A = this chain, B = another copy of it.
Amino acid sequence: MGAESRLKQLGIELSAAPAPMANYVRAVQVGNLLFLSGHGPMKDGKLAHIGKLGRDMSVEEGRQSARAVGLGLLASAREALGSLDRVKRVVKVLGMVNSADGFVQQPQVINGFSDLIVEVFGEAGRHARSAVGMAELPMGISVEIEMIVEVADGAGAARPKAAAKKPARSARPAARRPAARKRRR
């Protein structure tokens, strides 16, 4: 099942991709890699989930924050690619948790994000990851996550692998045929 169908089955509706807070863009694609900016947790188009883990929030609330970040990242990936069905693999994630002194359960918090991604993409959602504790995050948000996604080659996309391979392959017969024909005559 594609990621878009799976989202529907899970009853998840993505909001519009969140607007960047400053002078940057949500995502940049190079070849078949899509690099997504650090996203914070949004609710109804506004930053939400303000607070530090280990002081203002429980691990469970942290997990919900991380899941909310995931929904924003999915919205941004869909906007960049047209459809989440073009995600071939979720590659690498940096999960940053706003951590009070002594809070060491960053992996459990970031699982709120990782569990969502695996629900939506299945095996293709299983990613490399770091989960770490930050001193502070913008506006005091509890979680910020950035990710790198592999994009499937397909219509309407920049696809250097296809572009590099196909001309070479189709050039060969075209270049060889006339000469070969000559020799045979």
Contacts and interface: CB of A to CB of B under 8 A. Distances in A.
Nearest to A168: B168
Contacts of A169: 167, 171
A89 B130 contact: no
B111 A23 contact: yes
Interface of A: 21-28, 30-33, 35-38, 54, 89, 91-94, 96, 99, 101-108, 110-111, 114-115, 118, 126-140, 144, 146, 148, 150, 160-161, 163-165, 167-169, 171-172, 174-176, 178-180, 182-183
Nearest to A103: B136
Nearest to A150: B30
Nearest to A167: B168
A150 B29 CA distance: 10
A37 B147 CA distance: 12
A128 B92 contact: no
A93 B180 contact: no
Nearest to A140: B104
Q: Can you tell how many copies of this chain the complex includes?
A: 3
Contacts of A176: 171, 174-175, 178
26 contacts: A22-B111, A23-B118, A24-B127, A25-B127, A28-B126, A30-B89, A31-B31, A31-B32, A31-B161, A35-B128, A38-B130, A92-B146, A104-B137, A104-B139, A132-B134, A132-B137, A164-B164, A165-B167, A165-B168, A171-B175, A174-B176, A175-B179, A178-B179, A178-B180, A179-B182, A182-B183
